[in-house]
Amino acid sequence: MNNLKNILFIIITIMLAVVIEAMTVNSMQKVNRINDPFETLTLKKDLYRKDVSLSEIIYSEKSTKALMQLIIDNGDTTFKNISNRDFIHKFYQKNGFTPMWFTNKGVKSKAVNDIFKIVENDAMLDKRGNIYKRYKYLKNRFAQKSNLSIDEQMKLDIELSSLCKSYLSFNIYGSIKWWDFKNRLKWLRQNKIPADWVTYTPKYDIVELMSKYPFPQVVDITTPRSFGYKKMLAELKRLKNIRRNGGWRKIPNSSQLRYGKSGKVVAQLINRLKSSGDYRCDGNNQKYDRCLKQAVKRFQKRHGLYPNG
């Protein structure tokens, strides 16, 4: 009986020792990661030039600690209002937890302004959407960049990187609800309704691209060059101009809108289809003839409707 007690005591002692050792190792790793500037400096020695100043080294070490605390130790708090947590962690980890948009001399103004200019001038971007709102907020914050603490700078650095990720995702994939869109395409094909739409799924490593290239170059790399994308952009600008000028004139429902009929409503429909490029006949016709029927079919087909004319 005593032997059994001794064996149990030894087993429990060993288990406690293992647990205590594991806790000690984890604690030491955490302390070293945050509080040992010499270890961090050793890991980052290749990032420094031979002529680097002491102020740059001090700023680099302080900013690295701040980034690690924000992203790793206080991540749950940091990412309550900042999206793309996984991307941010991978991106900064790959770059040694160094700031991307700040230096010891302040903001990298050209790089930041390039980002803001691209977002501002994107004709595809919804000006009422989340990405644009975040851009406006950050533009205002960077305009008030003086007298920011290291922690405040690094939080802005993270927020701007998150904006870049969101914008690049939009640039690559758009804002379409792909699941609904693909189901719609499936329904059209099942009902033998032809649709001149092509889908593809591009794949880019945004962490790798943003780590290697300036943001404008990353945008250029991820911008589609096929499927008539540039023509689509030009068409979008044209349509937005139409909306700014009052939008499409509503075509009233009328008995005139039948094959062989004619009248003012038919003329309105012809003008509407001319403006969208669907009506391709010459003359001032006001009759619902074969040419108009083909134009209606083109319009229906482009919008995923049954092309019955």
Per-residue confidence of the chain (309 residues) as pLDDT tens digits?
A: 556 656 666 666 666 655 566 555 454 444 444 444 444 444 454 554 555 567 777 888 999 999 999 999 999 999 999 999 999 999 999 999 999 999 888 899 999 999 999 999 988 888 889 999 999 999 999 888 678 889 999 999 999 999 999 999 998 887 777 777 778 777 877 877 766 666 667 789 999 999 999 999 999 999 887 767 777 777 777 777 777 777 777 777 777 777 777 788 888 888 888 877 787 877 677 788 888 888 888 888 877 778 776
Upper half-sphere CA count for residue 248 (Cβ side, 13 Å): 14
CA distance 206 to 159: 16
At position 172, the amino acid (one-letter code) is I
What value, to the nearest 5°, has the Cα angle with vertex 170 and ends 166 and 175? 120
Extract the tokens encoding 195.
């649709």
106-107/102-103 β-pairing: antiparallel
In this structure, which long-range contacts are made by residues 126-135, counting pairs with CB atoms below 8 Å and at least 24 apart in sequence? 126/175, 129/175, 130/166, 131/163, 131/166, 131/167, 131/170, 134/159, 134/162, 134/163, 134/166, 135/163, 135/167
Instruction: At 167, give phi and psi (nearest 5°).
Output: -65, -40
Nearest to 307 by CA among 192, 137, 215: 192
Extract the tokens encoding 4.
């059994």
Residues 6+ apart with CB under 8 A from 136: none
Residues 202, 92, single domain; the answer is yes
Domain holding 256: CATH number? Answer: 1.10.101.10
| 277 belongs to a structural domain | yes
Residues 185, 67, single domain; the answer is yes
CA 24 to chain centre: 41
CA distance 288 to 279: 12
Q: CA dist 252 to 256, 257, 269, 290, Å?
A: 10, 9, 9, 21
Nearest to 153 by CA among 57, 70, 32: 70
| Start-to-end Cα distance in the chain | 96
| 92 belongs to a structural domain | yes
Residues 6+ apart with CB under 8 A from 281: 291, 292, 295
Residues 200, 266, single domain; the answer is no
In a 3-state reduction of DSSP, which class is residue 93? helix
| 197 belongs to a structural domain | yes
Q: Is 222 in contact with 105 (CB distance < 8 Å)?
A: no
| Whole-number pLDDT of residue 35 | 45
Instruction: At 116, give phi and psi (nearest 5°).
Output: -60, -40
| Whole-number pLDDT of residue 36 | 44
DSSP secondary structure of 104-148: TTEE-HHHHHHHHHHHHT-TTS-TTSHHHHHHHHHHHHHHT-TT-
Helix or strand holding residue 293 (H, E): helix 290-302
| 1 belongs to a structural domain | yes
| 256 belongs to a structural domain | yes
Instruction: At 262, give phi and psi (nearest 5°).
Output: -150, 165
Residues 158, 278, single domain; the answer is no
Total domain count, the chain: 3
Residues 111, 142, single domain; the answer is yes
At position 209, the amino acid (one-letter code) is L
Q: Is 260 in contact with 288 (CB distance < 8 Å)?
A: yes
- Residue 257 structural domain: 248-309
| 118 belongs to a structural domain | yes
